[in-house]
Amino acid sequence: MATQPDPELLTEYKTRVISALREKHGYKNIHEIPKVSKVVINTSIGAGADSKEALEIARQEIGLITGQRPITTISKKAIANFKLRQGQAIGAKVTLRGRTMYEFLERFIRMSLPRIRDFRGVSTKSFDGNGNYTLGVSDQSIFPEVELDKIKRNIGFDITIVTTARTNEEAKSLLSELGMPFADKAKKPVAPKPEEQQEVTAEAAA
């Protein structure tokens, strides 16, 4: 059986990103260079009257988006104010590794994020201090796998990218090299120098 080629993003990590990170942070050992170890996609449907139907829709959508069958998440304790029972099914979760993980990240970074209306980059403040990054997606319509006319219910997701980085800075470097569009990388207009401003004013007055 022929071996499948690596996902494009994994190939890029091996051929370019490793060298770029080594040069930037001065890693001496190849094992010090951070990498993505897993991606966790999680959604919660709450405890409403239609929770059973909502859960089934959530499982279908998360499976469609990730290409992997999700597991059902269960409440660990009862919360009377939210009418939540201990052991109640409240959401769905998928953990991606290896090829499937890189395929998902490639689609998410290059295809899904740019489809967000008025997108200006993702926050730089969502690192947890241990090299992991979490961002929220308000609904599934940004994923190209989802057919808009078949959406029965809007479903939000939390996507956690777990890395082997030791610090937020190293994790940000890794994700930036993989193409994650952080908001602080957006191009800002360069203010003209004082002398240039004077020239422009003089020309306008002429």
d(CA 199, CA 90): 64
Which residues, 6 or more positions from 72, have their beta carbon under 8 angstroms from its beta carbon? Answer: 55, 59, 89, 91, 92
Distance CA 23, CA 11 (A): 18
Q: What is the pLDDT of residue 133?
A: 97
DSSP secondary structure letter of residue 80: G
Residue 176 has pLDDT above 60, yes or no: yes
Query: Under CATH, which number does the domain 8-182 receive?
Result: 3.30.1440.10
Query: What local confidence, expressed as pLDDT, does residue 190 receive?
Result: 45
Residue 134 makes CB contacts below 8 A (sequence gap 6+) with 126, 128, 158, 159, 160, 161
The tens digit of pLDDT for each residue in 45-77 reads 765 556 788 888 888 999 999 999 999 887 666
pTM reported for the whole predicted model: 0.81
**Domain spans of the chain?**
8-182
How high is the pLDDT of residue 45? Answer: 77
| Phi, psi dihedral angles at 69 (to 5 degrees) | -70, 125
Q: From the CB of residue 8, how many other CB atoms can be counted at a distance below 10 Å?
A: 12
